[in-house]
Structure 1
Amino acid sequence: MDKLKSFLEKHFGHTAFKEGQREIIEAVIHGEDVFAMLATGSGKSLCYQLPALWKKGTAVIVSPLLSLMENQVQELKQNGIRQVAAYNSFLRPQEKEHILRHLADYKIVYISPESLQHPEFASRLEKLDVSLLAVDEAHCISQWGHEFRTDYLRIKEIRRLAGNPPCIALTATASADAKEDIIEKLELTNPLIHCDSVDRANIYIDVRKKKNEEEKRETLREECSRLPLPGMIYVNSRLKAEELAAFIREENGLKTSAYHGGMSNEDRRLVQQQFLSDEIDIICCTNAFGMGINKPNIRFVIHYHYSKDMESFMQEIGRAGRDGRQSLSLVLHDAADGMLPRRMLEHEFPSGEEIRMVSQDPDRPESTTSRFLMEKYGVEEVHARFLQFYIHKWQQTARTQTLEDFISSVVQRRMEWKLQKLNQKEYWLHQTGSCRRTALLKVFDEHNKNTVTPCCDVCGEYTMHVEHQRKMQEPELSWEERLKWILHQ
């Protein structure tokens, strides 16, 4: 009898592993390090959840996605797995303290990379029997990853503190440079490397240049009137998400909602659950929505504004067609669209004035914390964490540069690299002579293995099957039924 397969069915209700899962799970169970690039929706979470239940001790899962942590905790509990918790900013202080006191009683603990640095958690971790360390969205650890975060760079220190348990790094998209960087930064030893193809053959890729905003809106109205539902529309601002949601409701009479980082946690959670349960036809969102969302029947992803790099774009279009049915990626762009992503890139890093102010302050303590930087200088949290990390790094160097020059040079290198990625994306948008899929795969060192039909707007036009009669509107849920859905009952 296959014990691993029986274990899978007993705890997760699946009768078979997906491609690559078993190989990865067996490696983790046997104490090996693993780097896995798995296509969105291919069952990444099982690759650490099953070994966590199989092995003795507590598995620590590092993830930047608070909503995903909550969802996975609820799903595991629904499957009868009670020894699981998420340690994050959603919790009240007494709830955090309870988890810390009972850390050894859990089989799986989810935590954000920021919370992982807290001294209280680190001190408890040192005494804990850690069965494995899983790093989700591992591209965040790489300087060549599209969502690089400095807090991820300290994970290797925490791993050493926990006695160097086996580590599994997971991501859906990573270039060859990012993959090597992740392996180095996490200090993975002779890891098993498993890389799925990033190609989504069932997604037709369409790019359309428009003269202005009015043309884009009209195209959006037309597409929303004919495309099969449900769908997603990505925009680059909170205001535009609200604006387009109202526009589609009015023009197309569809159930549409906005989703962005300016909404309360409760509102975001409600919209997310409504979309997952097909109560919402179309969601207009910023890139705050999508990571960790497993909805198999999304028929189209429209980029009303284009993403700032090819890796983000690949991850975002991968939310369509997870059920294997034909789906659409549509990008609309006009001449004015290139201005905002450049302004947004500038705001990702501390300004020259902030760097100067922090660097030249004689009263700045040697052990500078992000909280101190936020409170004294009024620096926003992301910038404060960036400054804290590179102040600490500068203190560990030979200091051949001043602190101001050191941090400024880091910002300049990062900006140049991000602009290079943005230019690469824009070149892809404007080229019309070669297959878009081939150019997209080249970013990930892949080549077209099979002829894909339909492929993209360059290879040939394609009209998605239009549902002649859209499904009957589902009756509105009562507040009691909606509450039950939110609480996963």
Structure 2
Amino acid sequence: MLENDLKTYLGFDEFRLGQKEVVEAAVAGEDTFVMLPTGSGKTVCFQLAGYLREGLVVIISPLLSLMQDQVERMKVYGEKRVVALNSFLNANEKTTILNQLERYKFVFISPEMIQQEHVLAAFQRQKIGLFVIDEGHCIAQWGPDFRPDYLQLGAVRETLNYPVTMVLTATATETVRAETQKVLNLKNMKQFIYSVNRENIAYKVITCEQRKDKDTELLKLVKELEGPGIIYFSSRQKCQDMSLLLSERLNLDVAYYHGRMDPADRIAIQQQFTHHQLDIICATSAFGMGIDVPDIRFVIHYHPAQNIESFVQEAGRAGRDGKPSLSISLCHQESDYYLAQSLSVRDLPDYNTILNPQSYTREALENNWVTDTQWRFLKTYKEMGFNPNAIWEVVQARQTLKKEQIDAYFKWLQTTQCRRDRLLRFFGEADIHQEFQCCDNCDLDESIYHKVANDFTKVVKNDWKKTLWEMFVKKM
């Protein structure tokens, strides 16, 4: 029985929603697309299926911090045959791992690294028991522009002789699922699609008349709400500034996190938050994938998410323990809409850049004539056989799609209808008409999310030298 295997390998007594069916299909050799709500234990699906299949389990993961977190968690629970093959390793360490892949059962790797010729050749020499794409929505969301190497994962599967494949995500529309199937060449993909609804998360939107009102609202919210919490920003500078302001004004342990930080610093911050050494994280969208903090009580969007799918992913990091949690969006319609539009096309090359043959050279990247993202975009599509006019058509199509996604998201922010039902409809689900603690347009008692006592003083975490100084020296 699979329940016995679940207990033996992972220590759990019973499966959660969808897990058993997914594992059964993978063990039987079927390719699967798995959409389970955030916090439902998607990692159990590939871990148990991996144990029950002969061969190496390769997990394509989008972020360094996510890889490291998952590897450390598996090691804590006793699995020593796990490694993350990433840029934290030096050349000798990578070579050693690649030469001894048979020693491992689970290998985490990015879509960029697995396509390096010598890396892929090393995996070709192994029996691949399971090929996993974690956060599989990235194929359709990031592949066409931001991370074009995702579009080559179908070719990687072919090189590895089409191993049994499992795609895992928390959000994916029917269009995204179809695009994923096409990219990966999954002809007979079995789909396990479960509702994105998280009934314990309530939704609220606060409309700000002036852009500066957001700071006042944020201070008020963080002062009132029980933590821990995540606050999302689109601006790295605003992320840092608000982290400092919240820390000074409210005497909380607050840190900021964004993609331009040193990778080691990002992992350190994530570990501090995971171990409840921080009250609040001010972060860009680079933070949160796979984070294992079950008791996050609120997620606030200071700036809008990229689209509805990103919003659901980010808001869904709250309340994984099933307890009441709150998603709040601060919205200044004019500036937020402009910001979302400008960020959505920031890394796409313009027409003249595409036409210029120099844009495709390493010199263009080294001299900052193009951004790193633009260079990878141009290089990938050129290698795929696209001429400049065809590449421009891709850019125009992406611009149109992103505008449509932003428009849909802002309609949700402005709606006077049930916010939960509107989200479900976006993913093709039926309305559910939740009666209690639904959203600000339905039933919502915000007081249940507030701190129990109206006492916002904080015990300072002193080291022993400072404590002794305050006890004896200061009083003299």
The answer to whether TM tops 0.5 is yes
Report how far residue 476 of structure 1 moved.
5.2
Report how far residue 248 of structure 1 moved.
1.1
Alpha-carbon distance in 2 for matches of 1:37, 1:477: 45
Name whichever of 457-466 and 97-106 sits farther off: 457-466
Alpha-carbon distance in 1 for matches of 2:62, 2:142: 18
Alpha-carbon distance in 2 for matches of 1:329, 1:377: 39
Q: Which residue of the partner structure matches residue 446 of structure 1? A: 429
Q: Which residue of the partner structure matches residue 459 of structure 1? A: 442
For the residue of structure 1 that corresponds to 2:439, the secondary structure is: coil
Q: Which residue of the partner structure matches residue 266 of structure 2? A: 268
Q: Which residue of the partner structure matches residue 487 of structure 1? A: none
Whether the 8 Å contact between 2:421 and 2:433 is mirrored in structure 1 is no
The aligned amino acid for 2:9 is H
For the residue of structure 2 that corresponds to 1:86, the secondary structure is: strand
Spell out, residue by residue over 1:271-308, the C-alpha distance to the aligned partner (whole angstroms, 9 max, x if none).
11111111111111111111111211111111111112
Alpha-carbon distance in 1 for matches of 2:245, 2:74: 39
Name whichever of 56-65 and 448-457 sits farther off: 448-457
Equivalent residue in structure 2 for 1:391, among 370, 373, 382 = 382
- Structure 2 gaps of 5+ residues are 466-476
Percent identity, aligned pairs only, is 38
Name whichever of 345-354 and 150-159 sits farther off: 345-354
Equivalent residue in structure 2 for 1:190, among 185, 188, 191 = 188
CA 302–29 in structure 1, closer or farther in 2 if over 3 Å, else same: same
CA 43–373 in structure 1, closer or farther in 2 if over 3 Å, else same: farther
Name whichever of 110-119 and 245-254 sits farther off: 245-254
Spell out, residue by residue over 1:330-385, the C-alpha distance to the aligned partner (whole angstroms, 9 max, x if none).
11111322222222122121233321223xx5xx9xxx7x8576347743222122
For the residue of structure 2 that corresponds to 1:347, the secondary structure is: coil
Report how far residue 221 of structure 1 moved.
1.4
Q: Which residue of the partner structure matches residue 484 of structure 1? A: none
The aligned amino acid for 1:355 is I
Name whichever of 45-54 and 137-146 sits farther off: 137-146
Normalising by structure 2, we get a TM-score of 0.91
Report how far residue 177 of structure 1 moved.
0.8
Report how far residue 148 of structure 1 moved.
6.4
Whether the 8 Å contact between 1:83 and 1:107 is mirrored in structure 2 is yes
Q: Any residues of structure 2 matched to 1:80-479 within 5 Å, and which?
A: 80-142=78-140, 149-334=147-332, 335-358=334-357, 361=358, 374-375=365-366, 378-394=369-385, 403-432=387-416, 434-449=417-432, 451-465=434-448, 466-469=450-453, 473=459, 475=461
Whether the 8 Å contact between 1:144 and 1:177 is mirrored in structure 2 is no
Name whichever of 109-118 and 79-88 sits farther off: 79-88
Name whichever of 46-55 and 464-473 sits farther off: 464-473
The aligned amino acid for 1:292 is G
For the residue of structure 2 that corresponds to 1:109, the secondary structure is: strand
Alpha-carbon distance in 1 for matches of 2:444, 2:163: 51
CA 210–326 in structure 1, closer or farther in 2 if over 3 Å, else same: same
Alpha-carbon distance in 2 for matches of 1:10, 1:70: 24
Q: Which residue of the partner structure matches residue 470 of structure 2? A: none
Alpha-carbon distance in 1 for matches of 2:145, 2:309: 9
Equivalent residue in structure 1 for 2:47, among 46, 49, 53 = 49
Name whichever of 70-79 and 445-454 sits farther off: 445-454
Alpha-carbon distance in 1 for matches of 2:145, 2:408: 17
For the residue of structure 2 that corresponds to 1:31, the secondary structure is: coil
CA 446–474 in structure 1, closer or farther in 2 if over 3 Å, else same: farther
Alpha-carbon distance in 2 for matches of 1:478, 1:356: 64
Whether the 8 Å contact between 2:81 and 2:104 is mirrored in structure 1 is yes
For the residue of structure 1 that corresponds to 2:177, the secondary structure is: helix
Equivalent residue in structure 2 for 1:35, among 33, 46, 56 = 33
Alpha-carbon distance in 1 for matches of 2:118, 2:223: 54
Alpha-carbon distance in 2 for matches of 1:56, 1:194: 23
Q: Any residues of structure 2 matched to 1:60-75 within 5 Å, and which?
A: 60-75=58-73
Alpha-carbon distance in 1 for matches of 2:142, 2:286: 21
The aligned amino acid for 1:409 is E
Name whichever of 51-60 and 87-96 sits farther off: 51-60
Alpha-carbon distance in 2 for matches of 1:248, 1:147: 35
